[in-house]
Each structure stands twice: as C-alpha cells, then as structure tokens.
C-alpha cells in the first residue's frame, strides 16, 4: 500500500502543469469611411486578425467566424446600434464567449489613410487600448499593423525591424567612396607630374617605355576610382531603399489640412 502511494505521488510530481488558457478576442469587420471600397475593409480586417493571432496573446475569433457563429441576421441585430456603444460590444462578446472585442475604422482623408483600432474588455466594460495610425498608402499602413494592434490590445510592442543589412550596405558604400577618393586623387597627382615631365621646358627625359607604363598605370587607377565610385553609389542607394521606416515611433504632434469628401479634414503628420 505504501509503495503504491509512493509511485502515485511520484507520477503526480512529474505531471506537467497546464499553461494558462489564453483569453478570447473577437475581431470585428472594420467599418469604412471616406468613400473606401468595403472590400478593402474586409482584406484589412483579415490582416489585423492575422497580426493579433501571430502575437500569441489571445485566442482569436475572426470576423468571418463571428458571422458564422451568430448568423447574419443576429449579427445585424447586435450591431444595429452605434459602433462606439459598449453595450452592443458587450452583448456580442457574451454571445461568442469572448472577453475582448476589437473594432475599428479605415477612412480615407484626401490622399491619406487613417486606421483606428480599439479593444473593449467586456467583463470590465472599459476600453483596453486604442490606436490611430495614418499613412500615405496601404503598403505603409500594413507595415504599421503590428504596432497598431499592440497598442490597441495593450500588449508589448514588437521589436523594430532590423537595420543591420541597410546600414551595412551604406557603410560599405562609404568605404568604396573613400577608396575612390584616394585612387582618384593619386591618379590626378600622378597625371599632373607626368604632364610636367613631358613639357617642352623639361630638359631631362626618361625612356619612352617608362612614360607609357606610367600612363597605363594612371589610366588603370582612374578606372578603378570610377568603378569604386559606381559601387559606392549602388551600395548607398540599396541601403537607403532597404532601410525600413520607423513605424514604431509616433510622429511629432503636427496636423495638416487635406481635402476630403465633405470638404477638408485635419490629419496627423504622415510617416
């Protein structure tokens, strides 16, 4: 009997502890404003859902799954009130068993795009976080999604994109530029000295073969300088193109007037 208890106790000690269950977060379909195509909101909603899921802090319920779980008519009833109404989102979260609900808007303000995301804690009936991002085009906006999602969910911001490669390319371009300057300067100096030796005022001449060899060496040096200059320009250009924008940092608090469908609108500084 004692042996059985000992074996049972040892097995119990080796049993792995269960990881805490992740809370559920329902991602609602983004609403559109400013004349944007609703299909754009659908595609961006899927991207937002993917970002929330990849962060790993929540069990995500996508907008499509919400429609499947609740049914289209019931969804219209629950979302029939204002999008900012906490009671509607609370009821929606309760119907799906999700504690958190993310909603948002994608709007076009002139030539700019503004994405607004907010997350509501249905148990506490209070917002968790909010994020507003402005971009010139969808590519820049998609690059900002990981940071916008983290701000809205109240989770740690992802690490900034690596700049090792672009900085390495630009540093290599600087090295080649320095080499081009050294080779070019030396070639010019040698060329001037050769021209002086071949001037009519010079009375002491060397064998013609030595002058030809010097001229060939100067030409080679100048060619290498031009090639180094071209490589330098290429490396610096590639580094600048590959250097990712600083999407994690918030822009300076400035605003600008841009035309919109209803006249003009105030938007933040574009990243």
Query: How would residue 45 be classed by pLDDT, with cut points 50, 70 and 90?
Result: confident
The pLDDT of 117-132, averaged and rounded, is 87
How far is the first Cα of the chain from the last one, in angstroms, to the nearest whole number? 72
Question: Does residue 87 carry a pLDDT above 70?
Answer: no
144-188: pLDDT as tens digits: 889 999 999 888 887 777 788 888 999 999 999 999 999 989 989
Strand partners, 267: 256
Angle formed at CA 132 by CA 130 and CA 135, multiple of 5 degrees: 155
- Asked whether the beta carbons of 157 and 147 are under 8 A apart, the reply is yes
Q: Which residues of 15-36 are buried (b: 16+ CB within 10 A; e: fewer)?
A: eeeeeeeeebbbbbbbbbbbeb
The pLDDT of 224-232, averaged and rounded, is 93
User: Rounded to an integer, what distance in angstroms lies between the CA atom of residue 121 and that of residue 103?
Assistant: 12
User: Rounded to an integer, what distance in angstroms lies between the CA atom of residue 51 and that of residue 45?
Assistant: 10
Single pTM value for the model: 0.57
Proportion of the chain above pLDDT 90, given as a percent: 17
User: Rounded to an integer, what distance in angstroms lies between the CA atom of residue 103 and that of residue 66?
Assistant: 12
Domain extent listing, the chain: 21-153, 164-197+209-242
- Counted residue by residue, the chain has a size of 271
Q: What is the CATH number of domain 21-153?
A: 3.40.50.10610
Range in 20-34, 45-59, 107-121, 179-193 with the lowest mean pLDDT: 20-34
The per-residue pLDDT for 60 is: 87
């Amino acid at each position: 009997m004692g042996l059985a208890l000992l074996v049972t106790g040892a097995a119990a000690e080796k049993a792995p502890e269960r990881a805490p269950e992740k809370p559920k977060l329902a991602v609602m379909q983004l609403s559109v404003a400013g004349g944007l195509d609703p299909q754009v909101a659908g595609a961006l909603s899927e991207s937002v859902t993917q970002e929330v899921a990849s962060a790993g802090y929540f069990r995500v319920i996508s907008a499509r799954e919400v429609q499947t779980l609740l049914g289209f008519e019931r969804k219209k009833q629950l979302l029939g009130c204002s999008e900012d109404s906490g009671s509607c989102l609370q009821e929606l979260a309760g119907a799906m068993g999700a504690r958190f609900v993310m909603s948002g808007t994608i709007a076009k303000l002139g030539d700019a795009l503004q994405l607004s995301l907010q997350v509501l804690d249905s148990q506490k009936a209070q917002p968790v976080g909010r994020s507003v991002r402005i971009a010139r085009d969808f590519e820049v906006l998609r690059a900002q999604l990981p940071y916008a999602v983290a701000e809205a969910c109240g989770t740690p911001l992802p690490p900034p994109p690596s700049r090792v490669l672009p900085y390495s390319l630009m540093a290599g371009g600087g090295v080649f530029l320095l080499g081009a300057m050294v080779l070019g300067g030396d070639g010019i100096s040698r060329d001037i000295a050769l021209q002086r030796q071949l001037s009519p005022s010079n009375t002491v001449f060397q064998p013609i073969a030595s002058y030809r060899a010097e001229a060939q060496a100067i030409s080679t040096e100048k060619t290498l300088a031009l090639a180094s200059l071209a490589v330098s320009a290429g490396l610096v250009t590639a580094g600048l193109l590959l250097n990712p924008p600083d999407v994690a940092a918030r822009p300076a608090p400035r605003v600008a007037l841009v035309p919109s469908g209803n006249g003009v609108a105030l938007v933040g500084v574009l990243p």
